[in-house]
Each structure stands twice: as C-alpha cells, then as structure tokens.
Structure 1
Amino acid sequence: MSARLVDIIVSDTEVSAVEAVIRRHCRRFWQETVPNGREKFSCIVQPRYVERLLDELDSRFGSSAGFSVTVSALEAVLPPLEETPETALPVADLPPPTRLEAFFSRDRISTDEIHDDIAESIAIRPSYLLTVVLSAVIAALGMRSGQVAVVIGAMVIAPLLGPTMGMALAATVGNAEMAKRATATLIVGATAALAATYGLGFLIAVDPTVPELLNRSIVSPADVTLALACGAAGVLAFSRGAALSLVGVMIAVALVPPLAAAGLFFSKGYETLAFNALFLFATNLVCVNLAGIAMFLFQGLPPKSWRMTGGVMAVWGFVLLLFLGVMAGRIAFGIGSESLVEQVLDIIIRPLG
C-alpha cells in the first residue's frame, strides 16, 4: 500500500512540541511557514503509523486554535520507505506489536480514513433510495429469469454496503451515533427494496421454482459460512482502501437478492417462501456483522470499550446460535430443500386441480 502525506498546520508557538510528536511516527517531513502566524509540517507516513500519529496529535493539539490535519494517499515514494523489524518505529509507553499484529495491520488504512469512507454512505439521501430500488429491481428481474450475470450486476451496485460496514465499525470502535445512523439507513434501504420488488411482482410473472429464486428461500449451514466469509472478506478489502464496488460484490451477494426474492414472493402470495427469504436475509446480516467486527478487531482497530464491543459481539453470536437452532430443527424434522420444492409445486398445482 502507498504511503500517506499528512499535512499538519499549527500555531508557531507549538512548533517544537509538534515536531517531537512527528519524529516518533515518521522518518521524512519538512516544514514551511504559512500566513497568520502558523507553521505547516508535511510528513510522509507509512499507513501503519498514520492512526497513532493522528491520535497523539488530536489528544495534544485538538483544542488548539488553528490546528488542522489532512491526510492524502501517495501513489509512489522515492526512495521507498522500507519497513523491517529493525527499522520499525517504536510506540512510546506501549509494548511493540507482535509479528502477527504487525502482519495483519500493516496494510490497513487508519480508523479516521475508514470512518470518512463510511460516513458519507450512511446518510439517507434520494440517491441512496434510488440506488437501493434499482439494485433490488435488477436483482429481482435477474433471479426471475435465471440470469446470474444480471444478479451480479445488482451486487456491483452494492447499496447496502455502507450501512452494513457502518454497523460493524460502530460496534468495533463504540460509536453509538454511527450505529444509530447506519441501522436507520439499513432499515430504510431494506424497506425500500421490499416495497419496490413487491410492486414489481404485480407487473411480471413469477415462477417460484426457478433455481435463482428458490435458492433464496432455503437457509442452510453453507449460507452461514458464505455470509461469514463475505463479512470478513468485505471488511478486509474495505480496510485496505479497496473500491466500494469490489467490496460490494462480496457484501451484496448476501443481502440484496434475498430481499428482492422476498418482495416478489409476497406479491404473489407465497408467504412461506417470502418469510424464508427474509430469514436468509436476517441470517446473512447477523453473520456479516459478526465477521466484520471480528475482522476489524483482528486488524487492530482500537475499541473504545472492550466490554461494549464484546457485548455487541455476544448479542450477534447469540442471535446466530438461535438461527442455527432453527436450521437444525428444520433439518431434524425433514424440512429441507427437497420438501420445500414439493411444497412449492403443491402451491402451484393445487389451484389448477
């Protein structure tokens, strides 16, 4: 990952204190005078050191008049900044990271950068609602006709990516305000997706036995594994600064299609299939959040309170265990995919007989 350029502006009375902080977190920096009695430091910082630099600057100078910090990505740095155990910059008053911690956090962008990437996507705007509706309609039409490529198109749009990542990040760092906004945005988006596909169902014919649709009404342990992998892979890519559309392929595969299928099923009167699709959506949402929080922690994001973060993870884990219990009960009583197909065929054939 490329280095970051951190520009710091402070009052000229704090130059010595700021320089002492900078030297603890980066090896290359330069200073220049700017108007109004202020000084500017430009620092080339490796990604793994950005977060601790910002934290110390904010704690020491955040309330100072004229203080500001901006961070931007650099495409290349010459000569390159080599990082080895021998050249690693120590952290004052903290034990050095283990090799495992350093390995998994070295490519991660800072918490502030992750927060800024997510903050814009958890606001309820007309563009967000329109994107949700279009994504759900595309997914519904793709599943209805059995066209996998069209369903993938809905995944790339990824409207539920921001709220989902926002919920996981908020639980990790203990940001209650972000958690409320992300949850509200997700609920509004899910409702819009259901409403759009419910209305669409009155305009098109729907065959519930089409595999792309029927598969969204079947919940199995394999779906739990898929959702956990999606959540972990999505957070891993997101925290490395990957494009939202690429991460969306990992996340939307677990969230958008079940919602679209549920809307179609409700419109045609297949309530059992619709509730099964919603159950798949809920299961996937729990798994994505649980795996997302675990991956954020694994990469070294600092929780505000381990008790709070652990409590949220415990709640998600308890809900997942309940869902797994429901799945086990269905399997024990023989309510599997084969019996579900028979029920669907019975629903269709009964009116004809």
Structure 2
Amino acid sequence: MRYLEVTVPKGKRAAVIDILEDEGIEYVVSDETSGRGYTAVVRFPIPTRAVEPVLDRLRQAGISEDASVVVIDAETVISEEFSTLREQYSHGGQAGSRTSRQVLRTKADELTPPFTIYAVMLLISAVVATAGLLADSPAVVIGAMVIAPLLGPALAANVGIVTGDSRLKSTGFSYQIVGVAIVIGASIGLATLARLAGLEPAGVDIVVATELQERVAPNLFSLAVALGAGIAGILSLTRGFSEAIVGVMIAAALIPPSAAVGITVAWGMYGAATGAAVLVIVNVLSINLAALATLWIAGYRPQGLFEVSPTRTPTYTYAAIFGIALLVLAAPLAGITLLDFHTTELESVATDEAETVLEEPQYADREVDDVTVELDGNYPIQSVDRIVITVTGQTPGPEPGLAERLHAAISQHSDESLVVEVQYVVAEEHGDVGD
C-alpha cells in the first residue's frame, strides 16, 4: 500500500478531484497557501498497483513535472472503500506488486551510493579480489564480491533509459565505467608489488592458478552469470526481492575478471589480459542488455508521469548497441568454447585409443595411467600443443615403437597435426602381508 501527497496547480483542482472520485479513492484536500502557484494538497491511500495508473491519469489532468508528488509506504489502511479499491487492483489475487515507474526511479537512485563511498568500497574489493586470485582462494574472491557496490549503477543506467531520466542514465553508465577502471588500476598496483616481492603463485606461471585460469580464457558459459545477474537485478528492484544477493551476482561477473586484467598486465601477459578484458566488457554488456530487456518486458514503457519525450527510440537504440557489441565480442568466447569441446573430445579419443593399443599382448605389463591434452598457452584463444600419455609398467625405460603406434591411432581421428608424447612411470608392487 502507498500513501500519496500531491500538490495541485491552479485551475486543476476540480480535474484532480474528478479523477479520484472516478477511481473510488478516499482523499483529503487541504488548501495550499505558500504562494508557489498551487491551490491545494491532496492526500490519499492507494494499493501499490494503482500508483502508476493513477499518477498517469493525474499527469493527463495537468499534474506536470513542476508538481510535487510524494509516495510513502503505508502499513495499514482501515476503510471499506479502500478494500474495494484494493480488490479492484488485485488482478485475481496474484501475489507480488509491480513497482511503479515513479518509485522505480527512486529505488534505483537510492541503490547508487555517493561516489566517494563507491570508489573506496571498490578499492577494497579490488585489493581483496587480487589477493584471492593470487592466493588461488575462492573464499577470499567471494568476500571481494560481497563488498562491491555494483548493483545500483547497473540498474540505474537502464532504469534511466526506459523512464527517460538522463541524469540517472548518465550516472549509472559513468559509475560502471569508472568502477571497472578503479578495480583494474588497483589490481595492477597490488599485483606489481606482489611480483616485485617475488610472490609468484605456483613458482613461475600465475595462470596455472584455477581462480585465474577461468578468467583469462573464458567461454560462452561465462555469459550465464552476467545475463542472470541483469535479469535478477531488475526483478529484485521491481518485485522487492533481496538486492544484496543479486549484488553479489553482479560483482561475480565483474570484479574477478577485472582483477585478472590487472594481474596479467602486471606480469606482462598481455594475451591473457586481453582475454580477461574481453570477458569484462562482455559481462558489462550482458548485464545491461539483460536488465534493459527485462524492464521492457516487465511493462516499463514510455509516457508515464514526468516523462517529457517518449523513450521507445532510445531504448531500442541502446538495446541494439548492447546486442551488436555483445555479438562481436562474444565471437572469441565462441572460439574458446569450441576449443574446450574439441579438447574434451580429443582427450576421450586419445584415452580410448591408448587403452586399445596397450591391450595388445606385447604391452601386457603396461597400462594407461593418465591422458592430458595440453594447450600452447597463447591466450586468449589457444590451440592444442600436444597430447601427453602417461604409461605405467614394471620395467623402466621407453617401449620401442609405442609412441608411433599411439600417434598413428590418435591422428586418424583429427585433421590437425598432433604431437603425442609418452611418459613412462614405474609402478611399484607391494606384496601382501602374511599372517
């Protein structure tokens, strides 16, 4: 339920009261004596779902952008007429209430913190995320996501687009761009210090860390988090779900890959940095496109209260920009996805062929221990470098002709030139302990 207080301009008092009478709304009218061009102040309770249509009708009656409209949450309204009005707007008793466009603007604005607080929180988040990636600690990375205030800007930009609020739109986009830049810059600084101090994970190659690997060579499945975050963010705003959980989801799509850009730049791995940067940009586009589409589908259209010009064209324009840019930048991710599928298939084929070859009598004392397809490390789009087959046996040393047999068997399943490497491991036998 909501309680509205509306200032009525001169000459519009009768029209406003006629609308409220026609809607069956109980109201109280007070004379306005401030001399600011208003003749009265009207106060009335209405169901949440009635806010948008009633304000739209009042706008048509002359309540323009210069008027003052205050929307307040109401705990309880005891009135038979209000019960009738609530039943009228209940739409068959469906659960949940759609937030009006007018309230939506306010909520999106409130979720965007002052810039100083925003920048400080992102700096802290960047430091924590960078430390978590360098330490290969998922728990620390999750902690960085929790404190990142990225929900408000992502939602504000798109609410501004569909409602024609240029200030909200520019604030949302500028916060997103500056926020990503802050995280990348802070990550470069911290990672540079870590490198100079000799804190290199895994000894040499930082990309071997699992938490970093998945950010520098992302595939199409990485888009699921960003698209889901954009949709969930709008639903949380319009339906009153928990914004905190959705905020973590949006941060998960932006903070770790932004920190990965900083780390790889600090280590001079510019190919890996490019892969992480593409993921950041793609996730930003995905979040905004999903949020914009969800708002439009949810019915937040032009021609509401205080909207001077239609927003249909700007909405379509931004959706087209987001969509086209996303398709272009998603192409490398598609290539990485195909490589992942190819690598998995090649590993399965190599395993089957190796087991088949080693079943032959001359290799009776040999077994396949492991099969790995290694990539060349040329991020972001890599290629197959070699297939490593680890063979165990009772005798040390290579088996004459085995590598050639395995290469011939595996190569027939691929059109590319393959390198097959066979590694031998001596298996130790442990005798049974007697009674």
Report the TM range for the smaller structure's normalisation.
0.7 to 0.9
> Are residue 299 (structure 1) and residue 298 (structure 2) matched?
yes
Alpha-carbon distance in 1 for matches of 2:160, 2:375: 38
Q: What residue in structure 1 maps to residue 44 of structure 2?
A: 43
Query: Alpha-carbon deviation of 1:258?
Result: 1.0
Q: Aligned to 1:8, what secondary structure does the other structure show?
A: strand
The 5 A counterparts of 1:99-178 are 107-119=97-109, 125-178=115-168
Greater helix proportion:
1
Alpha-carbon distance in 2 for matches of 1:260, 1:180: 25
Alpha-carbon distance in 2 for matches of 1:9, 1:326: 56
Q: Is the 8 A contact 2:123 2:183 kept in 1?
A: yes
Q: Aligned to 1:41, what secondary structure does the other structure show?
A: strand
Q: Which amino acid aligns with 1:317?
A: G
The 5 A counterparts of 1:218-257 are 218-242=217-241, 244-257=243-256
Q: Is the 8 A contact 2:225 2:249 kept in 1?
A: no
Give the stretch that moved more between structures: 14-23 or 183-192. Answer: 14-23
Alpha-carbon distance in 1 for matches of 2:343, 2:71: 52
The 5 A counterparts of 1:189-268 are 189-204=179-194, 205-207=199-201, 208=206, 209-242=208-241, 244-268=243-267
Structure 1-normalised TM-score?
0.79
Q: Aligned to 1:108, what secondary structure does the other structure show?
A: coil
Are residues 336 and 248 of structure 1, via their aligned partners in 2, closer, same or farther at CA, if it must alter by over 3 Å?
Answer: farther
Q: What residue in structure 2 maps to residue 7 of structure 1?
A: 5
Query: Alpha-carbon deviation of 1:151?
Result: 2.5
Q: Residue 16 of structure 2: which of 18, 21, 46 is its match?
A: 18
Are residues 206 and 120 of structure 1, via their aligned partners in 2, closer, same or farther at CA, if it must alter by over 3 Å?
Answer: farther
- What are the Cα deviations for residues 233-290 of structure 1, in whole angstroms up to 9, with x where unaligned? 1111122244543331221111122111211221122222222111111111111111
% identical equivalent positions: 28
Q: Which amino acid aligns with 1:111?
A: R
Alpha-carbon distance in 2 for matches of 1:12, 1:179: 33
Query: Alpha-carbon deviation of 1:309?
Result: 1.6
Query: Alpha-carbon deviation of 1:176?
Result: 4.2
Query: Alpha-carbon deviation of 1:206?
Result: 4.7
Q: Which amino acid aligns with 2:71?
A: V
Query: Alpha-carbon deviation of 1:333?
Result: 5.7
The 5 A counterparts of 1:321-340 are 321-332=327-338
Query: Alpha-carbon deviation of 1:158?
Result: 3.2
- What are the Cα deviations for residues 190-212 of structure 1, in whole angstroms up to 9, with x where unaligned? 11111111111123335332222
Q: What residue in structure 2 maps to residue 351 of structure 1?
A: none
> Are residue 308 (structure 1) and residue 306 (structure 2) matched?
no
Alpha-carbon distance in 1 for matches of 2:75, 2:140: 34
Query: Alpha-carbon deviation of 1:121?
Result: 5.5
Alpha-carbon distance in 2 for matches of 1:240, 1:158: 22
Q: What residue in structure 1 maps to residue 277 of structure 2?
A: 278
- What are the Cα deviations for residues 51-106 of structure 1, in whole angstroms up to 9, with x where unaligned? 222233344344598x42101122444469668997249xxxxxxx9x9xx969x6
Give the stretch that moved more between structures: 312-321 or 235-244. Answer: 235-244
Query: Alpha-carbon deviation of 1:13?
Result: 5.8
Q: What residue in structure 1 maps to residue 68 of structure 2?
A: 68
Alpha-carbon distance in 2 for matches of 1:214, 1:135: 20
- What are the Cα deviations for residues 157-188 of structure 1, in whole angstroms up to 9, with x where unaligned? 23222221122223333444443332222221
**5+ unaligned residues in a row in structure 2: which ranges?**
303-309, 345-372, 383-435
Alpha-carbon distance in 1 for matches of 2:23, 2:250: 34
Query: Alpha-carbon deviation of 1:292?
Result: 0.6
Query: Alpha-carbon deviation of 1:325?
Result: 2.5
Q: Which amino acid aligns with 1:144?
A: L
**5+ unaligned residues in a row in structure 1: which ranges?**
90-96, 347-353
Structure 2-normalised TM-score?
0.66
Q: Which amino acid aligns with 2:46?
A: V
Q: Is the 8 A contact 1:25 1:49 kept in 2?
A: no
Alpha-carbon distance in 1 for matches of 2:119, 2:234: 23
Are residues 33 and 283 of structure 1, via their aligned partners in 2, closer, same or farther at CA, if it must alter by over 3 Å?
Answer: same
Q: Which amino acid aligns with 1:246?
A: I
Query: Alpha-carbon deviation of 1:25?
Result: 5.0
Are residues 72 and 271 of structure 1, via their aligned partners in 2, closer, same or farther at CA, if it must alter by over 3 Å?
Answer: same
Alpha-carbon distance in 2 for matches of 1:15, 1:238: 34
Q: Is the 8 A contact 1:202 1:267 kept in 2?
A: yes
Are residues 332 and 250 of structure 1, via their aligned partners in 2, closer, same or farther at CA, if it must alter by over 3 Å?
Answer: closer
Q: Is the 8 A contact 2:15 2:61 kept in 1?
A: no
Cα-Cα RMSD:
3.5
Give the stretch that moved more between structures: 75-84 or 222-231. Answer: 75-84
Q: What residue in structure 2 maps to residue 287 of structure 1?
A: 286
Q: Is the 8 A contact 1:132 1:192 kept in 2?
A: yes
Q: Aligned to 2:122, what secondary structure does the other structure show?
A: helix
Query: Alpha-carbon deviation of 1:19?
Result: 1.7
Q: Aligned to 1:203, what secondary structure does the other structure show?
A: helix
Give the stretch that moved more between structures: 272-281 or 32-41. Answer: 32-41
Number of residue pairs the alignment of both structures matches: 331
Whose RCO is larger (CA < 8 A, sep 6+)? 1
Q: Aligned to 1:158, what secondary structure does the other structure show?
A: coil
Are residues 239 and 25 of structure 1, via their aligned partners in 2, closer, same or farther at CA, if it must alter by over 3 Å?
Answer: farther
